[in-house]
Amino acid sequence: MRLERRTHMPFHLVIIAPIAAILVALTLAAGLIAAAGVNPLTAYGEMLRGALGSRLSVTEMLTRATPLILTGLAAAVAFRARLWNIGGEGQFFMGALMTAWVGHSLGLPPILAIPVLLVFGMSAGAALLAGPAFLRLRFGVDEVVTTLLLNFIVILFVGLMIEGPLRDPLAFGWPSSVPVDSDFRLPDLIARTRLHIGLLIAIAAAGVVWLILSRTVFGAETRAVGLSAPAAAFAGISLPRNLMGVALFSGALAGLAGSVEVLGVTASVTTTMSPGFGYAGIVVAMLAALHPAGVVVAAIFVATVFVGADAMSRATGVPSFIADVIVALCLLTMLVALLFTTYRVRK
């Protein structure tokens, strides 16, 4: 049995691959659900109902998908250039923290303040990833470990900030940061739900990413660098400049995720405001085969799983960790599925 390179990639495989991957993941997870003494089909039914069964649940799911789209884009942009940005979680938090800090008392009318705050959030995320990118360029230090370790450092830093200089004196219970000015909150997309226009911002971001990656010189250079760094260097593309550009781009997207979440949902920063958006973003990016349009769809899928799992857990007693299991399995199955789009199995 041998793997043989395909001469061309049939388009239908690109669509089938993620679907097949998801189905295999769901089948494997079904075994775990059965181990809990619950019929997997019932459980999945509850999951779908919990996420998509009512208008309210759909808006909850979309609210959950919003930051996932952005962290998914962040991972997709970075991974295309073989920049292994695992620091999405930390960049998310820095974006959120910066937004809360500046947004607490910014003397601008909302129409100006909101874009300004989003820009601050993006800058914070970009700056955070610039560090590991610089260490890679200058010292050859692998960014996987540095971005990962930074995540832990950032969470501690956030804790430090919200228990100290940015503490909200009016908060009871868990420590939280000062909230952003209520005028700067993102308006609801659908009234009396948590769904806010951040979703539109996220989708627009996907469009911008697609445009940049497929139509600009920077995007073309990034593609070349990711596919063959020696050939790109030979052609005169500056690897350091391109890498730094990608890092700033990716970090900004993850920072934007944090910013949007603060402005749209939480209003203030806590250490628990992210149930792993950064890491889930990586799965979203892989399921989308690193395509910006696919990221939107994949984010909705992942959000569905997470939101649905809570409801399913309440209804059936299956631990809600099954959502994390399913999402992680999707990453692995998608990796294998992508293999089959590039290679054919030969005897």
The reply on whether position 200 binds another protein by CB under 8 A is no
CB within 8 Å of 167: residues ≥ 6 apart: 175, 177, 178
Tell me which residue of 250, 302, 330, 294 sits closest to 90, measured CA to CA.
Answer: 250
Query: Which 252-281 positions form the footprint of another protein (CB under 8 A)?
Result: 279
Identity of the residue, 260 or 298, whose beta carbon is nearer to another protein in the bound complex: 298
The reply on whether position 159 binds another protein by CB under 8 A is yes
Residue 55, classified by CB atoms within 10 Å of its CB into exposed (0-12), middle (13-18) or buried (19+), is exposed
The reply on whether position 163 binds another protein by CB under 8 A is yes
Residues across the chain? 347
CA 17 → CA 8, 67, 289, 305, 339, distances in Å? 15, 24, 9, 19, 9
Site string for another protein, 71-90 (x = CB under 8 A): --------x----x-x----
The reply on whether position 166 binds another protein by CB under 8 A is no
d(CA 93, CA 158): 7
| First-residue to last-residue Cα distance in the chain | 4
d(CA 85, CA 143): 7
| Region near another protein per CB under 8 A, out of 43-51, 183-191, 293-301, 315-323 | 315-323
Site string for another protein, 20-59 (x = CB under 8 A): ------------x--xx-----------------------
Cβ count near 1 (within 10 Å) = 5
The reply on whether position 286 binds another protein by CB under 8 A is yes
Identity of the residue, 59 or 71, whose beta carbon is nearer to another protein in the bound complex: 71
Nearest approach in angstroms of CB 112 to another protein is: 27
Nearest approach in angstroms of CB 314 to another protein is: 14
Q: What token pair was written down for 39?
A: 């019929």
| Region near another protein per CB under 8 A, out of 4-12, 39-47, 108-116, 195-203 | 4-12
Selected from 116, 194, 319, 341, the binder of another protein by CB under 8 A is: 319
Cβ count near 181 (within 10 Å) = 17
Nearest approach in angstroms of CB 91 to another protein is: 16
Nearest approach in angstroms of CB 242 to another protein is: 12
d(CA 298, CA 279): 14
Number of residues located near another protein, criterion CB under 8 A: 67
Nearest approach in angstroms of CB 328 to another protein is: 4
CA 200 → CA 205, 296, 334, distances in Å? 8, 11, 27
| Region near another protein per CB under 8 A, out of 59-67, 111-119, 181-189, 210-218 | 210-218
β-partners of residue 2 are: 346
The reply on whether position 283 binds another protein by CB under 8 A is yes
Tell me which residue of 304, 297, 275 sits closest to 51, measured CA to CA.
Answer: 304
Backbone angles phi, psi at 126, to 5 degrees: -60, -45
**Contacting residues toward another protein, per CB under 8 A:** 3-4, 7-8, 32, 35-36, 79, 84, 86, 135, 139-142, 144-146, 148-153, 156-157, 159-160, 163-164, 215-221, 223-224, 227-228, 230-238, 279, 282-283, 286, 319, 321-322, 324-325, 327-329, 331-332, 335-336, 339
